[in-house]
Amino acid sequence: MNTPMTALQAATPKLILASGSRTRLMLLQAAGLSVAVQPAAIDEDAVKQQARAEAMPPDAAALRLAGLKAAEVDDPDALVIGADQILVCDGHWFDKPVDAAAARMHLQALRGRRHVLLTAVVCRQGGHTVWRHVAAPALRMRPVSDRFIDAYLALEGDHVLSSVGAYRLEGPGQQLFEDVDGEHAAILGLPMLALLEFLRGHGVLLR
């Protein structure tokens, strides 16, 4: 899948998003970028388990995941963008819920508490990492009731299964929160301000 080139972007190198995330693609498109999509197939659970076994900090683990995704795309002429996100609450890492019951448990565990979304992005070109960055937006969920959680999950359906926190801040999930500190795009999956600054410095975008 390719999106049209805009006047803000150089013809080369082409950009490839190594992710099947529709939200990440929409963030890039909204910023006026032409991007091809080539989802990477890596075993995220295995990578996280290994990271935990190595006592790796969660921000480093997020960078490892993003880097592995970017490295999966074999195109020497492209600038490849890999991204990943790890949610941490009181030292516990959260993975994407596998079903509605797991999503309910996520929301019950997060309510009334502050958590951090470690949002990592890695750019590779010509087989080398040329840039990496981690944003750490923090969110505090209000002490929502079980009734609200059940109503929210019924409204959102399978959409919540694509988020590590079992919520979509770009949708009704914003009703879950009492305080949000950080870039909105980073919460959704890509730290766009930092990424755009890198792309300008790398000659991909006009300064």
What percent of the chain lies above the pLDDT cut of 90?
88
Yes or no: is domain 14-201 CATH 3.40.309.10?
Answer: no
What's the mean per-residue pLDDT of the chain?
Answer: 94
Q: Residue 43 in contact with residue 84, Cβ under 8 Å?
A: no
Q: What is the DSSP letter of 207?
A: -
* pLDDT for 3: 56
Question: Which sequence spans correspond to the domains of the chain?
Answer: 14-201
Give the pLDDT confidence score for residue 4 in this predicted structure. Answer: 56
Q: CA gyration radius for the chain?
A: 17
Give the count of beta carbons closer than 10 Å to the beta carbon of residue 11: 7
Query: What pLDDT is attached to residue 115?
Result: 98
Residues marked active site are found at 84
Candidates 38, 32, 37; CA nearest to 9 is: 32
Where residue 7 falls among pLDDT bands split at 50, 70, 90? confident
Q: What does the pLDDT look like over 175-186, one tens digit per residue?
A: 999 999 999 999
Whole-angstrom distance, CA of residue 110 vs CA of residue 115:
7
**No. of helices (H) and no. of strands (E), the chain:** 7, 8
Beta carbons of 2 and 65 less than 8 angstroms apart: no
Tokens 């490892």 belong to 64
Reported as a single tens digit per residue, the pLDDT across 136-164 is 999 999 999 999 999 999 999 999 998 88
Kindly tell me if the per-residue pLDDT of 5 is higher than 80. no
Rounded Cα–Cα distance for residues 130 and 146 (Å) = 46
What is the pLDDT at residue 185? 97
Judged against a pLDDT cut of 60, whether residue 2 lies above it is answered with no
